[in-house]
């Protein structure tokens, strides 16, 4: 682009237009620029989770699983510990209920021994304990040591034991364990009961007091809902076995317990019970039961959110990269379009500028046009060098105000009018005056500064007229001066009157450079500084005119200057 | 992209006021060049919309002006009877002299 922007036209060596269109302006280049656009557009709609997001998800879920399992293990251990505590408590409560059964039986046994088995006194003592809603359904007094065992006194219903002689014998044989509460189960019969026996110790002919409490036929017995153990299911077996046939009571619908349960052996008088309990719910509270699931759900959600966030970040980053690629390609497109536009402008400008310059004996002529690099627009600068005869040329250089196609067409109009007046008259002042009259003859909204110079080669004479244009620079043997010439107003200014001209003699090997303001004007700088810069640079050079113009154009027009620039140089050859 | 952008416009301030005699004065300060000359052109068009006899440009704070600025000043000359420049700096005055406009754009001091 840089090369394009500073490309200059040298009419002495007209270049084919195609050469200007090399590089980024070529159609292949703009085609390449469009390709990444299409690619990125396709890629944009194909969503795929990023690798980072998947990693975040896996790590998040892994951590969640570990936390959940840990929490679950802690919960289970805690529940087991609590359950063991509860079964021991219940055990103590059961064991503590034994004396409430033993005490009335023991008292009755002592009474029987003291009264020698008086049935009346026995009945009188036991009546308050027997009956519906009381402790026992049946209490009976059995004298021990007789061959035939039978109760001598009965309170309440007849003891079931009495109908089972072999069973009763076996059970009452246990009464040699005197002084302790003996327990038996009468289980596999129509009305299952639990039997208790007590005989006072230390007497060979004592009495055994025997009582029975009924069991529910289906063994179902709930703990009271307000009891301290209402959060437990239990099963109570006679003996150490947990066989169904030994079951005394349970609160559960089905046995054995599945899931978490704990068993303990209960000492009940001389007998042994087995207590099995299972929690109905969570002993530690529902929150701790739910905690592993809360951790699992929250953890999974957090992992998903983290993955989504990661994916979004990754997507944004990817998007930004795509955008950068798109911007690059758009920039490339813009560049190529810009270059193309420049190329059109330059082509037009070239068409409006002379193709060839005259060749005279004793005089070298060169010209250069530098378009404004930043605008991409056609400028209003122009020049002409017209051979009048073998020894003289008329040089015209001008600058139409404004830019763009309007300025270029105005420039073409003024330029060709000037050419017409040059054909009529060779006096610079006359040419400018006629030009001013012509432009003012119709309505217009432009101005043009024009410098007209008659160059007489053999006479070494320069005749100048200026319509508001910069004076030309005269160079001779390392010295440079701007040629004083009477400055009239620019062409197009109302009332612009007759222009005047002046002539100077020039040294034998003099060089004259005429230029437009783009060469010397810089923003924020006094014009004289620019003129001095030009003069100092030019006067240091010892170059052929063509190289001199190239040097001046190269050094004094830069990337950021905003005006187009035309230079025309003539050099006398001795 | 930088090389594609327009050059930064020069900084200039345009201000229209009226003289004690009611005629418009356009004060131009800062730098006036091709980049902001069209803006001044619009300001001038508004200032002379009522066809005053005279237009004054107060150039006391104008540091720099190029040929595009000259063109705006000249444009006004075709629409009012007289265009005057008040207090131009030496640099601005030099541009006006170089372009042979001292007869057309009257310089007040």
Q: Which two tokens stand for residue A155?
A: 């309170």
Which helix (H) or strand (E) segment holds residue A553: the answer is helix A545-556
Is there a contact between A524 and B98 if contact means CB atoms under 8 Å apart? no
Nearest to B6 among A374, A489, A563 (CB): A374
Which helix (H) or strand (E) segment holds residue A455: the answer is strand A448-456
Which chain B residue's Cα is nearest to A522? B66
Is there a contact between A526 and B90 if contact means CB atoms under 8 Å apart? yes
Please, are residues A421 and A430 in contact by the beta-carbon 8 Å criterion?
A: yes
Which helix (H) or strand (E) segment holds residue A515: the answer is strand A511-515
A211 band by pLDDT with thresholds 50, 70 and 90: confident
Closest by Cα among A102, A118, A196 to A152: A118
- Give the distance from residue A325's alpha carbon to the nearest chain B alpha carbon, in angstroms: 14
B25 band by pLDDT with thresholds 50, 70 and 90: very high
Nearest to B31 among A445, A486, A524 (CB): A524
Q: Which two tokens stand for residue A162?
A: 């009495």
* Chain A contact for B50 (CB, 8 A cutoff): no
For A25-52, b/e burial (b = at least 16 CB within 10 A) is beeebbeebeebeeebeeeeeeeeebee
Please, are residues A7 and A30 in contact by the beta-carbon 8 Å criterion?
A: no
Which residues in chain A touch residue B74, judged by CB atoms under 8 angstroms apart? Answer: 447, 490, 492-493
Is there a contact between B6 and A494 if contact means CB atoms under 8 Å apart? no
A388 band by pLDDT with thresholds 50, 70 and 90: very high
Phi, psi angle pair for A260, to nearest 5° = -70, 130
User: What confidence score (pLDDT) does residue A560 get?
Assistant: 64
Please, are residues A232 and A278 in contact by the beta-carbon 8 Å criterion?
A: yes
pLDDT digits (tens, 9 = 90+) for A410-446: 888 888 999 999 999 899 999 999 999 988 888 777 8
Least confident residue range of A279-288, A339-348, B62-71: A339-348
Task: Specify the residue for token string 């021994």.
Answer: A113
User: What confidence score (pLDDT) does residue A298 get?
Assistant: 93
User: What confidence score (pLDDT) does residue A21 get?
Assistant: 39
- Burial class from Cβ neighbours inside 10 Å (0-12, 13-18, 19+) for residue A439 reads buried
Is there a contact between B67 and A399 if contact means CB atoms under 8 Å apart? yes
Kindly state the average pLDDT of the residues A523-538. 87
* Chain B contact for A493 (CB, 8 A cutoff): yes
Q: How many CB pairs under 8 A join A and B?
A: 97
pLDDT digits (tens, 9 = 90+) for A9-19: 444 444 444 43
Please give the residue that has the higher pLDDT: either A401 or B61: B61
User: What confidence score (pLDDT) does residue A247 get?
Assistant: 84
Work out whether strand B24-32 and strand B12-18 pair parallel, antiparallel, or are unpaired. Answer: antiparallel
Please give the residue that has the higher pLDDT: either A49 or A7: A49
* Chain B contact for A338 (CB, 8 A cutoff): yes
- The pTM of this model reads 0.50
* Chain A contact for B90 (CB, 8 A cutoff): yes
Nearest to B77 among A446, A494, A521 (CB): A494
Please give the residue that has the higher pLDDT: either A117 or A553: A553
Nearest to B4 among A338, A468, A492 (CB): A338
Count the Cβ atoms, other than its own, within 10 Å of residue A64.
19
A44 band by pLDDT with thresholds 50, 70 and 90: low
- Give the distance from residue A558's alpha carbon to the nearest chain B alpha carbon, in angstroms: 12
* Chain A contact for B101 (CB, 8 A cutoff): yes
Which chain A residue's Cα is nearest to B79? A494
Which chain A residue's Cα is nearest to B94? A527
Closest by Cα among A501, A569, A488, A560 to A534: A569
**Half-sphere exposure in the Cβ direction for A428 (13 Å, CA):** 29
Q: Which two tokens stand for residue A483?
A: 């040629």
Task: Specify the residue for token string 């989770």.
Answer: A49
For residue A573, give Cα distances in angstroms to A459, A501, A539, A543, A545. Answer: 13, 25, 17, 13, 10
Give the whole-angstrom CA distance, residue A224 versus residue A95. 18
Mutation pick from A373, A432, A472, A490 vs chain B, by most beta carbons of B within 10 Å, is A490
Is there a contact between A466 and B100 if contact means CB atoms under 8 Å apart? yes
Which residues in chain A touch residue B34, judged by CB atoms under 8 angstroms apart? Answer: 403, 562-563
**Half-sphere exposure in the Cβ direction for A20 (13 Å, CA):** 23
Is there a contact between A402 and B71 if contact means CB atoms under 8 Å apart? yes
Least confident residue range of A42-46, A391-395, A570-574, B8-12: A42-46
Give the whole-angstrom CA distance, residue B82 versus residue B105. 8
Kindly state the average pLDDT of the residues A71-91. 89
Which residues in chain B touch residue A562, judged by CB atoms under 8 angstroms apart? Answer: 7, 33-35
Is there a contact between B7 and A560 if contact means CB atoms under 8 Å apart? yes
Kindly state the average pLDDT of the residues B28-34. 86
Which residues in chain A touch residue B5, judged by CB atoms under 8 angstroms apart? Answer: 374
* Chain B contact for A379 (CB, 8 A cutoff): no
Kindly state the average pLDDT of the residues A325-340. 87
Kindly state the average pLDDT of the residues A58-87. 91
Nearest to B94 among A5, A334, A527 (CB): A527
Give the whole-angstrom CA distance, residue B69 versus residue B86. 15
Which helix (H) or strand (E) segment holds residue A143: the answer is strand A138-143
- Percent of chain A scoring above 90 in pLDDT: 27
Angle at B26 between CA B23 and CA B28, to 5 degrees: 160
Count the Cβ atoms, other than its own, within 10 Å of residue A399.
31
Predicted ipTM of the assembly: 0.74
Is there a contact between B104 and A562 if contact means CB atoms under 8 Å apart? no
Res. B40: pLDDT tops 50: yes
Task: Specify the residue for token string 């536009």.
Answer: A341
Q: Order the strands of the A479-482 sheet from edge to edge.
A: A363-370, A565-572, A511-515, A473-476, A479-482
Phi/psi class of residue A113: alpha, beta or left (left: φ > 0; alpha: ψ in -120 to 50)?
Answer: alpha
* Chain A contact for B81 (CB, 8 A cutoff): no
């Amino acid at each position: 682009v840089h090369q394009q922007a500073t490309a200059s036209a040298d009419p002495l060596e007209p270049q084919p237009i195609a050469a200007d269109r090399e590089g980024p302006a070529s159609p292949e280049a703009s085609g390449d620029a469009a390709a990444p656009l299409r690619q990125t557009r396709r890629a944009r709609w194909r969503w795929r989770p990023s690798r980072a997001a998947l990693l975040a998800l896996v790590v998040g879920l892994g951590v969640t699983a570990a936390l959940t399992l840990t929490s679950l293990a802690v919960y289970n251990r805690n529940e087991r510990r609590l359950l063991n505590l509860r079964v021991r408590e219940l055990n103590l409560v059961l064991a503590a209920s034994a004396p409430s059964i033993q005490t009335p039986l023991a008292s009755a046994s002592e009474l029987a021994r003291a009264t020698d088995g008086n049935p009346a006194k026995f009945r009188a003592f036991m009546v308050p304990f027997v009956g519906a809603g009381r402790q026992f359904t049946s209490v009976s007094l059995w004298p021990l040591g007789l061959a035939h065992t039978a109760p001598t006194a009965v309170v309440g219903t007849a003891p079931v034991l009495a109908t089972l002689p072999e069973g009763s014998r076996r059970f009452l044989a246990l009464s040699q364990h005197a002084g302790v509460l003996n327990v038996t189960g009468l289980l596999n019969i129509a009305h299952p009961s639990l039997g208790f026996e007590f005989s006072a110790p230390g007497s060979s002919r004592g009495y055994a007091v025997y009582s029975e409490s009924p069991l529910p036929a289906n063994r179902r017995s709930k703990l009271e809902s307000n009891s301290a153990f209402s959060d437990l299911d239990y099963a109570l077996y006679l003996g150490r076995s947990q066989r169904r046939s030994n079951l005394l009571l349970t609160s559960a619908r089905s046995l054995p317990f599945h899931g978490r349960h704990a068993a303990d052996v209960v000492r009940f008088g001389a007998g042994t019970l087995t207590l099995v309990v299972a929690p109905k719910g969570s002993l530690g509270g529902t929150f701790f039961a739910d905690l592993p699931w809360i951790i699992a759900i929250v953890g999974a959600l957090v992992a998903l959110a983290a993955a989504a966030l990661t994916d979004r970040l990754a997507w944004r980053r990817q998007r930004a990269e795509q955008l950068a690629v798109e911007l690059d390609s758009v920039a490339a497109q813009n560049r190529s379009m810009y270059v193309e536009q420049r190329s059109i402008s330059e082509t037009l400008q070239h068409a409006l500028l002379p193709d060839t310059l005259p060749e005279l004996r004793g005089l070298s002529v060169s010209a250069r046009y530098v378009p404004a690099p930043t605008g991409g627009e056609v400028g209003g600068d122009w020049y002409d060098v017209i051979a009048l005869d073998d020894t003289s040329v008329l040089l015209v250089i001008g600058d139409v105000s404004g830019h763009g196609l309007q300025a270029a067409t105005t420039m073409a109009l003024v330029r060709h009018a000037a050419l017409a007046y040059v054909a009529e008259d060779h006096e610079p002042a006359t040419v400018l005056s006629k030009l001013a009259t012509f432009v003012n003859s119709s309505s217009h909204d432009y101005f043009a500064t024009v410098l007209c110079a008659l160059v007489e080669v053999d006479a070494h004479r320069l005749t100048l007229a200026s319509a508001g244009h910069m004076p030309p620079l005269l160079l001779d043997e390392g010295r440079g001066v701007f040629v004083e010439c009477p400055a009239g107003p620019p062409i197009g200014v109302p009332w612009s009157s007759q222009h005047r001209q002046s002539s100077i003699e020039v040294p034998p090997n003099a060089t004259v450079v005429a230029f437009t303001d783009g060469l010397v004007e810089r923003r924020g700088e006094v014009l004289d500084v620019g003129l001095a810069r030009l003069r100092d640079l030019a006067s240091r050079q010892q170059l052929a005119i063509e190289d001199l113009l190239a040097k001046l154009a190269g050094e004094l027009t830069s990337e950021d200057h905003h005006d187009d620039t035309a230079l025309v140089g003539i050099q006398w050859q001795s | 992209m930088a090389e594609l952008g327009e050059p930064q416009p020069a900084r200039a301030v345009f201000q229209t006021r009226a003289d004690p005699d009611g005629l418009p004065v356009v004060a131009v300060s800062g730098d006036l060049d091709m980049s902001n000359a069209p803006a001044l052109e619009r300001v001038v068009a508004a200032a002379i919309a009522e066809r005053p006899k005279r237009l004054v440009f107060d150039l006391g704070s104008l540091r720099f002006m190029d040929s595009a600025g000259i063109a705006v000043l000249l444009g006004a000359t075709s629409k009012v009877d007289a265009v005057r420049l008040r207090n131009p700096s030496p640099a601005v005055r030099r541009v006006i002299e170089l372009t042979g406009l001292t007869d057309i754009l009257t310089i007040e001091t």
